[in-house]
Structures are given as C-alpha cells and as structure tokens.
C-alpha cells in the first residue's frame, strides 16, 4: 500500500513540476486581430502586410500596401523566406482559412510576431477601418 501512495505522490509532484515550465506559448501564438486593431498596428509598427490569396483575387481587390504571396503557389516556401522574420507580419485572405494555415507555417519558420485578420477581408470590406484598392 505504501508503494501506491509513493507512486501517486510522485505523479502529483511530477505534474506540479512540469506545469510550471516556461513553454513560451504566449510568444508563439498567432494573434487574431480585428480591422481596427490591424489599422492601429499598421500605424504604430513597421509591418509586413501579406495577402495570401491568389494573384487574381489580389488584383480584383486588396488592402492598400499589401504584398501578395499566394499560399497555394508552389513557390510559397521560397516567397515567405524573403520576408523579415524579426518584423511583424499581418496576414489576410478572403475568409480566414488560408491565412490561419499560413500563420502556422510562419510561426514554424521562426517568425516572431504573426497577426491574422479575423474573418478575412470578407468580414471587413465594408468597414471604414481599412483602405481597399478595388479594380474597376
């Protein structure tokens, strides 16, 4: 019976010890941002604004001063390697799916600050918070 208590006690101690480890989760998370937060970040920081949609989608409509890096392109990995890992990156797509996948890849590649526009441009294109260029 003493062995059971000893094993149980060791498991509890191990659980407490590992729960206090610094896993750096707070610094590795991608932050979902609103259009207003995006506008503020663009005003305050030197940011790389990246549209991860196709070139055709980008040509039709995009946020002013964004660069297009197509998430589905075979050159995607090479294209993101040209970005500065120490500068913040804001990603967006149409609805948020592609930018979320891209954000994960950027974090895995060692980018320090990655922001993702919540809901993509579809959610915010009628907002007065962002400036869009639209092909007429």
As annotated, the active-site residues are 93
Separation in Å, CA 2 to CA 8, 26, 39? 10, 40, 62
Query: What gap in Å lies between CA 57 and CA 135, rounded to an integer?
Result: 10
Q: Which SS3 state, helix, strand or coil, does residue 132 take?
A: strand
- Which neighbouring-strand residues pair with 91? 50, 116
Q: In the chain, which ranges are continuous DSSP H helix?
A: 2-19, 25-28, 35-44, 55-60, 76-81, 97-108, 120-124
């Amino acid at each position: 019976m003493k062995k059971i208590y000893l094993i149980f006690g060791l498991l509890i101690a191990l659980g407490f010890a590992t729960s206090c480890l610094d896993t750096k989760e707070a610094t590795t998370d991608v932050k979902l941002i609103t259009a207003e937060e995006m506008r503020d970040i663009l005003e305050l920081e030197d940011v790389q604004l990246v549209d991860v949609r196709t070139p055709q989608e980008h040509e039709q409509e995009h946020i002013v001063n964004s660069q297009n890096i197509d998430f589905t392109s075979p050159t995607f990995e090479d294209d993101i390697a040209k970005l500065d890992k120490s500068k913040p990156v804001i990603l967006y797509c149409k609805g948020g799916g592609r930018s979320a996948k891209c954000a994960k890849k950027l974090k895995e590649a060692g980018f320090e600050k990655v922001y993702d526009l919540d809901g993509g441009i579809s959610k915010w294109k009628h907002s007065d918070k962002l400036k869009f260029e639209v092909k007429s």
